[in-house]
Amino acid sequence: MEILQLVTPWVGVALCAMALLQFGLWSAQSLSLFNQNKKQFELSQELLREQIQTQIQSQIQNTTSTKKTSKDEIGSWSGYRPFRVAKLVKETATCTSVYLQPEDGKPIASFRPGQHLTFKFQIPGQSKPVVRCYSLSDRPGKNYYRISVKAAAPPRDKPDAAPGKASNFVSSVLAQGDRIEVKSPSGHFVLDEQSQRPLVLLAGGIGITPMISMVNHLIQTQSKRHIYLLYGLRNGNDHAFKQHLTELSQDQPNFLAVNCYSRPGAEDQQGVDYHVKGFVSVDILKQILPDNQCQFYMCGPPAFMTSLYHGLMKWGVPKSSVSYEAFGPASIGKANKKDASRTSDGSAPTPAINFSRSGTVANWNPDSETLLELAKENDIYIDSGCRAGSCGTCATGLISGNVTYPEPENVQCEPGKCLVCIARPDGPVELDA
């Protein structure tokens, strides 16, 4: 009994000690788990914050991209879109400016100065629509498009030929409110807005139209570039935008216009209506330009283009500094590296041209000049616009064979297609037409 009484307190102490030890271990484990859970919680919080930040940044980027894309795509369309003639203005007796607004009243796509529109005209007496391209003749950023069209007379060497169908339709038949189908602005003859080099614009006749777009845009954006415009005309009767260009020359210190009349009329005054009697030439450029380190843009008839291009090359102007757009066959007089109308022994071959969809096989006629002309001679209709390889309207599937171009380095065409308005066959060819 005494022993039990002596042992009992120590048992109690031991039990208490064990309880305290167990409590201590539990507390330590709990504290350790708490610390671990705290770290895991903090880590989870950090990961969550990173995920949220990443999502926010992604949303910002997507929103910015969407806004940019939306801005770029406002008013754009594919295929043809109906427009109405809002206004017609006579620039000269034979040149008419046409102001166009979309029939649906929605926004129109912007464009780069120098680009053109492609039209599909429903001309009375024509069994099929007539497709043509016309340069935009005003700056971008307005709620309308403007083109300026000169009624084309028969060629001087073919006075009995028919005048230009589309241009005379625009000049004489088209009326305010008329409906026209129009493609979105396109073309590679565009103003380089990044350059600050002096800009030299060389315009022949109605080739003034893309130059007006470039000049108006640069003036509107308050560009400090020096702008020189040499405008070649027959006389004052052909002088489109005369008042507008005169006012710009007086008001804009960085703009100079030089008018060259090849055949001044009795009422044309030198120093008032025109500055030079004769043609636009490199000799004139040498007199008014500080040097040849400029950017040159040319637009006009073939003879105009050929003369100036070779003159610029002779003056030492780099090819990369010369941009051009021809009216009619896209040639500036450079010889082809290979003439597809001759064989290696000098004889004239007659390769077969297979228009597969039409079921017609025709022998190539070198007098046709282009595959488009050959197609027309065989009553095969292929859409075409500029006839200069610029608009891409005539792009036709090239099933087999090869073609050559007057200036292949300037041709931009999808693989597997060819621009029949300037293409000539290099041997037998099969076309998807």
pLDDT digit string, tens, across residues 86-143? 999 999 999 999 999 999 999 999 999 999 999 999 999 888 888 889 999 999 999 9
- One-letter amino acid for residue 211 of the chain: M
Dihedral angle of Cα 96, 99, 100, 105, to the nearest 10 degrees: -160
Distance between CA atoms of 428 and 352, rounded to whole angstroms?
5
pLDDT band of 430, cuts 50, 70, 90: very high
Q: Of 38-47, 223-232, 356-365, where does the model show the most confidence?
A: 223-232
Q: Which of 135, 221, 133 is nearest to 421 (CA)?
A: 133
Distance between CA atoms of 411 and 401, rounded to whole angstroms?
18
Distance between CA atoms of 244 and 13, rounded to whole angstroms?
113
Mean pLDDT of 223-242: 97
- One-letter amino acid for residue 146 of the chain: R
Strands 179-183 and 199-204: unpaired
Q: Which of 371, 378, 356 is nearest to 402 (CA)?
A: 371
Question: Are 305 and 298 a contacting pair, CB within 8 Å?
Answer: yes
CB atoms within 10 A of CB 187: 21
pLDDT per position as a tens digit, 310-355? 999 999 999 999 998 876 544 564 434 344 444 444 455 579 999 9
Residue spans of alpha helices (H) in 74-174 = 165-172
Q: Which of 214, 220, 225 is nearest to 297 (CA)?
A: 214
Q: Sign of the C-alpha dihedral, residues 23, 26, 32, 33?
A: negative
Distance between CA atoms of 138 and 360, rounded to whole angstroms?
43
Q: What is the pTM of this model?
A: 0.73
Tokens found for residue 249:
């020359």
Please report the pLDDT score of residue 25 as a whole number. 55
Paired strand residues for 257: 229
Please report the pLDDT score of residue 20 as a whole number. 53
Please report the pLDDT score of residue 108 as a whole number. 96
Distance between CA atoms of 351 and 425, rounded to whole angstroms?
8
Residue predicted with more confidence, 69 or 168: 168
**Diameter of the chain measured on Cα atoms:** 153
CB atoms within 10 A of CB 57: 10
- Alpha carbon 13 to its chain's center: 98
Question: Are 420 and 371 a contacting pair, CB within 8 Å?
Answer: yes
Please report the pLDDT score of residue 406 as a whole number. 83
Paired strand residues for 354: 361, 430
